[in-house]
């Protein structure tokens, strides 16, 4: 947990001024994986791990920023754009500033001090938490206002243009629009977002980090996107109205799927069925049926493992161990794949046993100690008053 008083004191020691504080959360995706860039549906929740920015405005147009996590300083001039895609953390900070200004938000210079407890490399969207917390800080310190959707889109623009990752909108959306005790059903085409009640009084959301990240992740991500786009091109010949895989129903896929060569057919089958599972999971949560949600999560993992082929031995192992543990309603990989984390629905009366089982069995098989986090659904980006 971040100590806000210590962060304020650290800022005051650096700059001799009292800062304002802004936070944005990480996220875990309950279901709806690799559907976002296919115009589909996703169902994430914000988690109780944050990136917090302490900041104060300057009279000039310089942005000076320090990361406490990395013990590094950087700065840039709002009037003199630096080169994009440098492969450093400043790309996220400067990128969101450039995106905001390109959208008509006139910023002021600022001194910023950043601290985060969002686990890095675990697939919990530490990058979006950084983009959105910095973006909110810069807008607010300039005396401006911005609606959450525009802030999310600026974060995504920074990711695309300055970082060089063609990400979907999910991570930035949940960072801005998260609500306590709710998941968020996002239509990635229309950008309509619906808060779905998530009752975790008896069942907890538990994240298990494999502590492994395979190098395949970025290259295979681009390959999967291309495979989906090729599938749409072929299906459009028999369904001319098809703009993306989100337009293909399960029934139509069963009819026309045989036209697709492998592995394109497998990739498309995952996306088409995952969209159906995501909508069904949202409806199950509305009805308080966490058992049905858990079963859909299990089906999602098998589809990601077998059809989309983005799982890893470590992710499969964690899901298999969870399947043998008492009180587990569902488990699946979450995030882009090839490492990262699983998300699990676990009865609260079984949490200690679950932790012991996962830690022990995973360590025995791999020699790696997994990181395990329990989180409630949290709220989105805000200034800490």
Percent of the chain scoring above 90 in pLDDT:
91
Clarify whether residues 177 and 279 are in a common domain. no
CA 232 to chain centre: 25
What's the 3-state SS for 98-167?
HHHHHCCCCCCCEEEEEEECCCCCCCCCHHHHHHHHHHHHHHHHCCCCCCHHHHHHHHHHHHHHHHCCCC
Q: Decide: 179 and 301 in contact? Cβ < 8 Å.
A: no
| 223 occurs within a structural domain | yes
Query: What pLDDT is attached to residue 216?
Result: 64
- What token pair was written down for 142? 């300039």
| 385 occurs within a structural domain | no
Domain of 78, CATH number, reads 3.30.230.10
Clarify whether residues 117 and 180 are in a common domain. yes
Q: One of 39, 50, 171, 209 is an active-site residue; which one?
A: 171
Clarify whether residues 293 and 319 are in a common domain. yes
166: pLDDT confidence band, cut at 50, 70 and 90? confident
Domain of 363, CATH number, reads 3.30.70.890
Whole-angstrom distance, CA of residue 349 vs CA of residue 359: 17
Given 174, 198, 222, the domain boundary residue is: 198
**pTM for the whole structure:** 0.94
209 labelled catalytic: no
Residue-wise pLDDT for 203-237, tens only, equals 999 999 999 987 666 778 889 999 999 999 999 99
277: pLDDT confidence band, cut at 50, 70 and 90? very high
- What token pair was written down for 330? 């569902």
Clarify whether residues 168 and 214 are in a common domain. no
Clarify whether residues 210 and 305 are in a common domain. yes
Clarify whether residues 230 and 115 are in a common domain. no
| 339 occurs within a structural domain | yes
Average pLDDT of the chain is: 96
Query: How much is the average pLDDT of 306-310?
Result: 97
Write the CB contacts of 150 (distance below 8 Å, at least 6 apart in sequence).
103
121: pLDDT confidence band, cut at 50, 70 and 90? confident
Clarify whether residues 185 and 263 are in a common domain. no
Given 175, 198, 221, the domain boundary residue is: 198
Clarify whether residues 131 and 246 are in a common domain. no
| 214 occurs within a structural domain | yes
User: Cα angle vertex 373, ends 371, 377, to 5°?
Assistant: 155
Residue-wise pLDDT for 229-272, tens only, equals 999 999 999 999 999 999 999 999 999 999 999 999 999 999 99
Provide the domain count of the chain.
2
Query: What pLDDT is attached to residue 165?
Result: 82
Clarify whether residues 236 and 355 are in a common domain. yes
Query: How much is the average pLDDT of 295-319?
Result: 97
Query: What pLDDT is attached to residue 385?
Result: 87
Clarify whether residues 233 and 111 are in a common domain. no
Clarify whether residues 79 and 147 are in a common domain. yes
Whole-angstrom distance, CA of residue 166 vs CA of residue 149: 18
Structural domain span for residue 45: 4-198
Given 164, 198, 232, the domain boundary residue is: 198
Query: What pLDDT is attached to residue 120?
Result: 86
């Amino acid at each position: 947990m971040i100590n806000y008083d210590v962060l304020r004191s650290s800022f005051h020691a650096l700059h001799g001024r009292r800062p304002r504080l802004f936070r944005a959360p990480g996220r875990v995706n309950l279901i709806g994986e690799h559907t976002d860039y296919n115009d589909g549906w996703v169902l994430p929740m914000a988690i109780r791990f944050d990136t917090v920015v302490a900041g104060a405005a300057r009279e000039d147009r310089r942005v000076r920023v320090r990361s406490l996590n990395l013990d590094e300083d950087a700065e840039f001039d709002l009037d003199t754009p630096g080169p994009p895609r440098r492969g450093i953390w400043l790309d996220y900070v400067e990128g969101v500033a450039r995106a905001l200004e390109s959208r008509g938000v006139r910023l002021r210079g600022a001194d910023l001090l950043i601290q985060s407890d969002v686990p890095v490399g675990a697939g919990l969207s530490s990058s979006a938490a950084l983009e959105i917390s910095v973006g909110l800080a810069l807008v607010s310190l300039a005396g401006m206002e911005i609606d959450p959707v525009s802030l999310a889109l600026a974060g995504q623009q920074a990711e695309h243009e300055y970082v060089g990752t063609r990400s979907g909108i999910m991570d930035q959306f949940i960072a801005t629009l998260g609500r306590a005790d709710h998941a968020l059903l996002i239509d990635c085409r229309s950008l309509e977002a619906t808060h779905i009640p998530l009752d975790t009084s008896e069942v907890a959301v538990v994240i298990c980090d494999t502590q492994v990240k395979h190098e395949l992740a970025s290259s295979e991500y681009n390959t999967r996107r291309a495979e989906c786009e090729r599938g749409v091109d072929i299906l459009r010949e028999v369904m001319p109205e098809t703009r993306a895989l989100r337009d293909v129903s399960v029934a139509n896929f069963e009819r026309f799927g045989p036209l697709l060569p492998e592995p394109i057919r497998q990739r498309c089958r995952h996306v088409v069925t995952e969209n159906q599972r995501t909508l069904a999971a949202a409806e199950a949560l509305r009805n308080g049926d966490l058992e049905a949600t858990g079963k859909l999560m299990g089906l999602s993992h098998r589809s990601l493992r077998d059809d989309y082929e983005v799982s890893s031995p470590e992710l499969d192992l964690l899901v298999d161990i969870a399947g043998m543990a008492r009180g587990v309603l569902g488990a699946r990989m979450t995030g882009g794949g090839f490492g990262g984390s699983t998300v699990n629905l676990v009865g609260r009366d079984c949490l200690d046993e679950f932790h012991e089982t996962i830690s022990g069995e995973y360590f025995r098989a791999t020699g790696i100690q997994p990181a395990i986090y329990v989180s409630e659904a949290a709220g989105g980006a805000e200034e800490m008053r």
